[in-house]
A and B are shown apart, each in its own frame.
Chain A
């Protein structure tokens, strides 16, 4: 059952086999698998529960209702990145574009060679990916509904001899309403809120919304539960308290919030790695003014990609964005802004992400408020050049398609005409030149590894320092994946759920159930 804040009238004391903090890709997977295995599962989610009836296609409302801090999470550094993160049942899967990739082979190889994670094999991960893909109806986007914009850019890129294709997505019968990032109004996108969570609840999982966990309870070196607070009637007021006693605690609050919780209590940090090793995918976008109507925003927000330079860490992915998503990053004000926005139906929109990079950041506690954190991240060295290269590449594609001008998120060339491109390429790349950029896919802040001195969790997801405390979210993914990470988080969480289940068996004094055996 999903319990909303309004139903909670007084303090709660609950017991469960497992308490899961967070209901995104990681937490929802654990909740579903364990509930269906007959475990008593309680999930505590900081955000609210929304259904397709609530999703009204409005970006402004979605940001306020479903994103952490109203969509204003920023990294501190050069440049500053907006880091949109979901705060709702389903986590960021509810407000992402639904792009699905498996972890590239070379990444797992790096995990083996550099981190000693030999236990995670390609064959095993293949099985988990396969199961998740089938469950989430992962398939390539339908060109009939993806919108002209995505195909146009791909045509341009292919015309220049660049490799690319159509993205796979976790969507079923998608009609391309263009608003995945504000909640899918038809339930076509198979985010955790319409797949894992309903199945978990059907199997008996109890999910409490608008509940922020502020304490992980540890006794004798073992996690024994959590405590938290429901949101109060006012925006910043506190509501009833909740305490959950459980055999196993699973943290799945995401790459930014899981380390914040651990750091606030000084837990699991004997390696000093909690909050470190943050990788993100820094993104920048371009808006081109075309001669013909492109038809935004009807279409799929991310439908095609260009991966010609993926090995060098540059991946272009894109599609469509509503007017509000465009106007916020434009350099113009006044009459020029209005004049420009009138051309919205003719906009070509595409984005790129720095998929492989050497820059890393950190999640650190807020100096004055332990319930909050700060994110630091700066583009360094070669990454700055690659970041600019993305803009150059997108500009070349748009100009090859006949764009008269494009808009870039740079202070030096906010508007670029074909004749400006060579000058732009010649100027020195500076991180501070980028002014309206965002980043996605944070990973790595509680990284997994084989050495307790250099990692926070082992390959099972259990923390080295506290028994029965598992982490199942992007924070354990130890390196950038080079691709969108939701499938890997789903798959790794499915894998780690098996170890949580084993632990529950051990706690009950039974031998863990292995594949092919039946629980007695």
Chain B
């Protein structure tokens, strides 16, 4: 992965996620976004990797044309301001562009077990329960259901 793409992914992560505004949401890990992008694009079709790279390069071109500096070199407020302009743009092209820019951060963050737990998806409890309630094709009674896997309530801290 190009160094500038890595830096841009890291720089854009907190802006895309907006978690700092909410105390109960864990801090994002920009490095995890880079690792996700690397893993994800390596598994996929080469064109996807190319488009994804182009999207991050295009953000830097846009940043340079508007501010004279590459996106990672801007201070956080200027980065946020630049992205706000993109968020406000309507139509399919900006939507797809933002999709590629935000995919690494969003995927890396919302696939975290602690974040999903906060939203009511208790992966560990469900996995544990499923291990105790294994189904076989030739029957046999299953152990009782576990209250831990019942639907969760509102997000903690709200």
A residues lining the B interface (CB < 8 Å): 52, 56-60, 64, 69-74, 137, 147-148, 172-175, 177-179, 185-188, 190, 194-195, 235, 293-298, 322-324, 327-328, 331-339, 341-346, 372, 411-412, 414, 432-433, 435-436
Whether the pair A69, B116 counts as a contact (CB closer than 8 A) is: no
Give the residues in chain A near B102, CB-CB below 8 Å.
333
Q: Which chain B residues in 99-158 approach chain A with CB under 8 Å? A: 99, 102-103, 106-107, 110-111, 115-116, 119-121, 123, 126-127, 129-131, 133-137, 142, 145, 149-155, 158
Chain A binding surface, main DSSP class = loop
Q: Measured between alpha carbons, how far is A175 from B99 in the docked complex, in Å?
A: 34
Whether the pair B83, A334 counts as a contact (CB closer than 8 A) is: yes
Question: Which one of B24, B45, B116, B137 lies within 8 Å of A194 (CB-CB)?
Answer: B137
Do A372 and B137 contact each other (CB < 8 Å), given the known contacts A60-B111, A338-B18, A339-B21?
A: no
Whether the pair B120, A296 counts as a contact (CB closer than 8 A) is: yes
Do A64 and B39 contact each other (CB < 8 Å), given the known contacts A338-B18, A372-B45?
A: yes
Give the residues in chain B near A323, CB-CB below 8 Å.
110, 115-116, 119, 121
Whether the pair A57, B43 counts as a contact (CB closer than 8 A) is: no
- 24 A-B pairs with CB atoms under 8 Å apart are A56-B123, A56-B127, A57-B126, A60-B107, A69-B44, A70-B43, A70-B44, A72-B44, A185-B126, A185-B130, A186-B131, A195-B137, A293-B153, A298-B152, A322-B116, A322-B121, A324-B110, A333-B15, A334-B83, A337-B106, A345-B119, A345-B152, A412-B90, A433-B92
Whether the pair A59, B16 counts as a contact (CB closer than 8 A) is: no
Question: Which one of B48, B83, B84, B107 lies within 8 Å of A328 (CB-CB)?
Answer: B107
**Contact indicator per residue, chain B 12-47, by CB within 8 Å of chain A (1) or not (0):** 000111110110110000000000100111111100
Give the residues in chain B near A56, CB-CB below 8 Å.
123, 127
Give the residues in chain A near B149, CB-CB below 8 Å.
175, 177, 298
Q: Measured between alpha carbons, how far is A454 from B66 in the docked complex, in Å?
A: 57
Give the residues in chain B near A294, CB-CB below 8 Å.
151
Q: Which A-B residue pairs are the 6 nearest by beta carbons? A: A295-B151, A70-B43, A335-B18, A60-B111, A185-B130, A334-B18
CB distance from B106 to the nearest CB of A (A): 5
Q: Within 8 Å of chain A (Cβ to Cβ): is B64? A: no
Whether the pair A333, B111 counts as a contact (CB closer than 8 A) is: no
Q: Measured between alpha carbons, how far is A293 from B149 in the docked complex, in Å?
A: 15
Whether the pair A177, B22 counts as a contact (CB closer than 8 A) is: no
Whether the pair A334, B16 counts as a contact (CB closer than 8 A) is: yes
In the complex formed, the residue of B with least CB distance to A324 is B110
Question: Which one of A57, A175, A179, A345 lies within 8 Å of B120 (CB-CB)?
Answer: A345
Q: Measured between alpha carbons, how far is A173 from B130 in the docked complex, in Å?
A: 11
Question: Which one of B44, B96, B110 lies within 8 Å of A327 (CB-CB)?
Answer: B110
Question: Which one of A64, A173, A337, A435 lies within 8 Å of B40 (CB-CB)?
Answer: A64
In the complex formed, the residue of A with least CB distance to B113 is A58
Give the residues in chain A near B87, CB-CB below 8 Å.
332-334
Q: Within 8 Å of chain A (Cβ to Cβ): is B98? A: yes
CB distance from A224 to the nearest CB of B (A): 32
In the complex formed, the residue of A with least CB distance to B17 is A338
CB distance from B46 to the nearest CB of A (A): 9
CB distance from B116 to the nearest CB of A (A): 6
CB distance from B112 to the nearest CB of A (A): 9
Do A172 and B135 contact each other (CB < 8 Å), given the known contacts A186-B130, A323-B119?
A: yes
CB distance from B151 to the nearest CB of A (A): 3
Whether the pair A338, B91 counts as a contact (CB closer than 8 A) is: no
Q: Measured between alpha carbons, how far is A4 from B46 in the docked complex, in Å?
A: 26
In the complex formed, the residue of B with least CB distance to A190 is B137
Do A175 and B129 contact each other (CB < 8 Å), given the known contacts A147-B151, A322-B121?
A: yes
Since A70-B41, A295-B152 are in contact, a sample of 16 more A-B pairs with Cβ atoms closer than 8 Å, ordered by chain A residue number, is A52-B130, A57-B127, A60-B36, A64-B43, A173-B142, A175-B129, A179-B126, A185-B127, A186-B133, A190-B137, A323-B110, A323-B116, A324-B111, A337-B16, A345-B152, A411-B90
Give the residues in chain B near A74, CB-CB below 8 Å.
48
Give the residues in chain A near B111, CB-CB below 8 Å.
58-60, 324
Q: Measured between alpha carbons, how far is A322 from B15 in the docked complex, in Å?
A: 23
Whether the pair A297, B153 counts as a contact (CB closer than 8 A) is: no
Whether the pair B18, A337 counts as a contact (CB closer than 8 A) is: yes
CB distance from B17 to the nearest CB of A (A): 6
Whether the pair B131, A185 counts as a contact (CB closer than 8 A) is: yes
Q: Measured between alpha carbons, how far is A13 from B112 in the docked complex, in Å?
A: 44
Give the residues in chain B near A372, CB-CB below 8 Å.
45
CB distance from B90 to the nearest CB of A (A): 7
In the complex formed, the residue of B with least CB distance to A136 is B137
Do A345 and B155 contact each other (CB < 8 Å), given the known contacts A57-B123, A339-B21?
A: yes
Q: Measured between alpha carbons, how far is A174 from B87 in the docked complex, in Å?
A: 42
Whether the pair A324, B133 counts as a contact (CB closer than 8 A) is: no
